[in-house]
Amino acid sequence: MPSTRLSQRSSRSTSASRSKAQQLPKDLLSIADIPRKKIDDLIALAKKLKAAHGKSRPSFPLKGKTLGLIFEKPSTRTRVSFEAGMNQLGGQALFLDAEKIQLSRGESLADTAHVLSRYVDGLVVRTFDQSALEEWAQHTSIPVINGLTDHCHPCQALADILTIVEKKGRVKGLKLAYIGDGNNITHSLLEIGAKVGMHVSVGCPPGYEPDRNIVKQARAEGAQTGARIEITHDPMVAAKNADAVYTDVWISMGQEDEHQARMAAFARYQVNSRLMKQAKPRAIVLHCLPAHRGEEITAEILDGPQSVVLDQAENRLHIQKAILLQWLGK
């Protein structure tokens, strides 16, 4: 009998641990925090919301809830998609310019976080350091969603996967080539690619590689899902037989003083017709926008038939609504 009870307790403990591992975390700080199954759930929910958008009688599952947005960086897609998404779900959004609240006059982040937890039901934070985002999460009792940091951009990566699924029918086993800087977008693409079984090949200049720890973790995750993670300094190798080709600006917010050095370093990492010949004939082109035509991508490619950047941008709205429902609809 004792051994049977021990076995039952062990079984319940294992089941509880597995259930906990599949639960959403309190906050959405990075793709690494989201269980694989929950990524599938978010994509499925976003597809459902998109299909219903403007076609059925609206429901307001977040009626009476308020979302705060604290942005230390400029934004178009992230801000508008979260505000519009919250409104469409029946809630309201409050934009809080970091320069116009008491944070700018020396109030501690902790005090601000504690107070806002009493006022709103969730926060989207767009900031520089990932550590600052983590501090917001530490001091709030409400969900904190990463609206972009220098380290990662999880909401964008989720919209990217939604777009690839729409255009290709699946992501598992496909190859995504990312050409350019090993930046926050790259990090989230590596993390999500590894989780969903999509091969990710990054073509970047020497010295601009993605974070080694993220690459290591993505390779470990990919070993379980069948995803291959490749980092190369040859953009043509990265683009070879790709199902999707992705790029981003060469100079991100806060890097303006590096303009001359970066323009020289990235000169041969442009997504153009020559590079696209390396990819599969029906490869799609993605860009998280804003884009600089003639720099990281040519106008011919960005505005051409293989480009899905406007669908990708629209999908920020639908994935944001899915995120809001999952994190604020509890």
Is 248 known to be catalytic? yes
Nearest CA-CA partner of 234 in 260, 188, 261, 202: 202
Q: Give the Cα separation of 190 and 210 in Å (integer).
A: 9
Q: How far is CA 220 from CA 228, 285, 295, in A?
A: 10, 27, 34
* Helix, strand, coil percentages in the chain from 3-state DSSP, rounded to 5: 50, 15, 35
Is 156 known to be catalytic? yes
List the catalytic residue out of 151, 153, 262, 318.
153
Is 234 known to be catalytic? no
Q: In 10 A of CB 103, how many CB atoms?
A: 18
Nearest CA-CA partner of 152 in 217, 197, 85, 224: 217
Is 316 known to be catalytic? yes
Q: Give the Cα separation of 74 and 126 in Å (integer).
A: 9
Let me know how many helices (H) and strands (E) the chain has, helices first.
13, 9
| Six-digit token string for 215 | 């690459």
List the catalytic residue out of 77, 126, 151, 287.
126
Q: Give the Cα separation of 317 and 323 in Å (integer).
A: 10
Token pair 């300094």 is at which residue?
233
List the catalytic residue out of 151, 152, 156, 243.
156
Q: Give the Cα separation of 174 and 166 in Å (integer).
A: 13
Which helix (H) or strand (E) element contains residue 125? strand 122-126
Is 155 known to be catalytic? no
| Six-digit token string for 170 | 């699946």
List the catalytic residue out of 187, 316, 318, 320.
316
Helices (H), 140-211: 154-168, 184-196
Residues labelled catalytic:
126, 153, 156, 248, 288, 316
